[in-house]
Amino acid sequence: MPRPEMIHVRSSNVEAVGYDSSELTLYVRYLDGSEYAYYGVPEFIYDDLLSTNSIGSYLHVYVKNQYSYKKVG
Is residue 53, in this structure, part of any structural domain at all? yes
Q: Residue 59: which domain range?
A: 7-71
Cα dist from 64 to 39, 67, 68, whole Å: 11, 6, 8
pLDDT of residue 64: 93
Is residue 38, in this structure, part of any structural domain at all? yes
Cα dist from 65 to 4, 10, 54, whole Å: 23, 23, 18
pLDDT-based confidence at residue 3 (cuts at 50, 70, 90)? confident
Average pLDDT over every residue of 41-60:
96
Number of structural domains in the chain: 1
Task: Say if residue 1's pLDDT is above 70.
Answer: no
pLDDT of residue 2: 74
Is residue 17, in this structure, part of any structural domain at all? yes
pLDDT digits (tens, 9 = 90+) for 12-49: 999 999 999 999 999 999 999 999 999 999 999 999 99
Is residue 43, in this structure, part of any structural domain at all? yes
Is residue 1, in this structure, part of any structural domain at all? no
